[in-house]
Amino acid sequence: MNIIIVGCGKVGTTLAQKLDQEGNSITVIDIDDSKVQAVSDASNVMGLIGNGAVHSVQVEAGIQSADLLIAVTGSDELNILCCITAKKSGSCRTIARVRNPEYIAETSFLQSELGLAMTINPELAAAQEIARILQFPSAMKIDTFAGGKVELLKFKLPEGCRLEGMAVREVVQNLRSDVLVCIIERNDDAFIPNGDFVFSRSDIVSIIATHSNAKDFFKKINYRMNSVKDVMIAGCGEIGYYLTSILKRSGVAVKIIEKDRQRCEKLSIALDNTVIINDDATSKDMLLEEGIEDAGGVVALTNMDEENILLSLFAIDSSKGKAKVITKVNRLDFDDVISRLPLDTIVYPKNLTSDVIIRYIRAMQNTIGSNVETLYNVFRDKIEAAEFRIADGSPVIGKPLAKLKFKEHTLIAAILRKNRAFIPRGSDEIQPGDSVVIVSDIKQLKDISDILVR
């Protein structure tokens, strides 16, 4: 596809790199020549210096033959203007990053009246993910499928866990838990395991299950179950604001620590009945004084990755592992190093944004057999979990799964049929209208038929 990206900040750069890897033709636009050069040097993309909202600049970028324009500058208003100009200049679809909470309530109006295909809010998406994890602290990460009826949960085996030394096939037999072990991460690598794969201490495991079956599974392996009741948020930008709003609706007590006094004053007006402390969240003495040792959850959301990492390590040490600690990291280039640190849960807002947009682009490219509904990058762009809606004519319909020839390292992880989700067995058949969750190391799945041996 021909895609134009306006804005070469962190989100734009990440999108350019990932969409280029997906095989798309990318052109980036920014007024900062150094940013354009940096993106062009890092990826096989065309660069154009200029204001992406200007008609002549878009024409030079090829708007008349473009399939999609994505506006991710630092200004919501500029992003919307870019999309309006694109709609008038060509026939492409448009996506705008919109971050201001005042505009979020107008999302449906913006999309319908201005012709936007989608609005993206990385901060709201990150807040929603953090809130899900705080409600289920057993997990390091939670992704949902089938309208929330199926969950992919990632967790680290605790010391002395029942699973240690057990083969994957024994999970159902020994624990009588209806879950599917789909990914095991070990020593900087990841596997889609077969039934003989044996769990080892400190493995990071991803399972697919319904919410109730997941709760039953974690209870049987003696893992932490209860939702977090109180949360300390260190640094309160837009993610912190959205997160606090979500948590308060769930009855969770929130304490915010923010060093910018003006920001504190705005938050005190916008967030009723919330404890807001104007102080430096990296002060050990202050954190101890405010009760970090007894907090149910600690979320590090400052603007500095280094501060978030150090603060999280301190929170884990101070609470002796009792607190659910979540760390926001913006930079993606050191994720392999960060993953080796003894952190609890790490959230990358930029990855969340790129996942949503890539899912939309693949849905635009769907064939007659199925359509991408949901897409998650589970392990460093090597393993994906994708949900497909099955249409008439798909080659996977009407045969028992055991008789279909799947490519290696591919799992049919779950099926949603008539509002009921289940983990399929070899005798089950896929039917038209089903939503099917696939876990695979096949890159760039666009149609469910891509998993079949041809």
Residue 353 located in a structural domain:
no
pLDDT score, position 240: 95
* pLDDT(221) > 50: yes
DSSP string, 357-412: HHHHHHHHT--SSEEEEEEEEEETTTEEEEEEEE-TT-TTBTSBGGGS-BPSSEEE
- Are 274 and 338 in a shared domain? yes
Residue 307 located in a structural domain:
yes
**196-215 pLDDT, tens per residue?**
999 998 899 999 999 899 98
In terms of pLDDT, which residue wins out, 329 or 224? Answer: 329
Total number of domains in the chain: 4
- Are 319 and 407 in a shared domain? no
Separation of alpha carbons 142 and 408, rounded Å: 25
Q: Which domain holds residue 149?
A: 126-220
Q: What percent of the chain shows pLDDT beyond 90? A: 54
Average pLDDT of span 116-128: 90
Task: Write the CATH number for 143.
Answer: 3.30.70.1450
* pLDDT(359) > 90: no
- Phi-psi sector, 377: left (phi>0), alpha (psi -120 to 50), beta: beta
Task: Write the CATH number for 45.
Answer: 3.40.50.720
Could you give the angle at the alpha carbon of 324 between the alpha carbons of 323 and 325, nearest 5°? 100
Residue at token pair 């605790």 = 158
* pLDDT(35) > 60: yes
Q: Where are the beta strands (DSSP E) in 129-243?
A: 141-145, 150-156, 180-186, 189-191, 204-209, 230-234
Q: What is the pTM of this model?
A: 0.84
What band does 314 get if pLDDT is binned at 50, 70 and 90? very high
3-state secondary structure at position 164: coil
* pLDDT(375) > 90: no
pLDDT score, position 285: 93
- Are 329 and 268 in a shared domain? yes
- Domain closes at, from 189, 220, 251: 220
Long-range contact pairs involving 341-349 (C-beta distance under 8 Å, separation at least 24): 341/309, 341/313, 342/313, 342/316, 343/309, 343/312, 343/313, 343/316, 344/140, 344/312, 344/316, 345/133, 345/139, 345/140, 345/141, 346/140, 347/126, 347/129, 347/130, 349/122, 349/123, 349/125, 349/126, 349/239
